[in-house]
């Protein structure tokens, strides 16, 4: 078992909401010289999940699962939302038909400042763009006690 300082880490509540779908660029020219308009970031993505191939989709910057944000991305609290959310954190639906269902943070997307959350398919089907999520954020400050040379910046 790898020794860590996990008992010293704090767990904080952070809250997000679904980010509406957005196009990454309104029009893009591919390597073949052909112009394309493709789906981009945000929303609830039903058919791209953890473990699926990253390439081959007819999209640009697709985010698997549910794309979430705190508020305006230039606000300090939105930056905190992205900083504190860590892969593996528990996310609970706190509104709507899926209220009480649990998911897991699967990553963040810098630049657009989104936190991505994975849910079971039956939960995704109940979510709407108005839903909100409470994440039990823990992980920042994690150290591997037996490997002090391993650092997170």
Query: What digits encode the pLDDT tens for the residues 81-130?
Result: 999 999 999 999 999 999 999 999 999 988 888 999 999 999 999 999 99
Reported residue count of the chain is 153
53 assigned to some structural domain: no
Task: State which residues form the domain around 114.
Answer: 12-20+41-46+62-145
The alpha carbon dihedral of 29, 30, 33, 37 has a sign of negative
In the chain, how many domains are there? Answer: 1
| Stated pTM of the model | 0.89
């Amino acid at each position: 078992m790898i020794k860590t300082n996990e008992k010293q880490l704090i767990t904080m509540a952070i809250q997000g909401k679904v980010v509406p779908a957005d196009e990454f660029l309104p029009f893009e020219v591919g390597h073949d010289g052909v112009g394309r308009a493709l789906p981009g970031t945000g929303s609830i993505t039903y058919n791209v999940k953890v473990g699926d191939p990253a390439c081959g989709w007819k999209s640009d910057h697709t985010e698997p699962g549910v794309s979430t944000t705190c508020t305006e991305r230039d606000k300090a609290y939105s930056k905190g939302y992205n900083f504190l959310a860590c892969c593996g954190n528990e996310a609970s639906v706190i509104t709507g038909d899926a209220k009480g269902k649990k998911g897991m943070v699967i990553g963040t997307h810098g630049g657009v400042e989104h936190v991505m959350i994975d849910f079971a398919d039956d939960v995704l089907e109940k979510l709407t763009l108005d839903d909100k999520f409470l994440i039990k954020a823990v992980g920042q400050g994690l150290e591997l006690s037996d490997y002090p040379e391993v650092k997170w910046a």
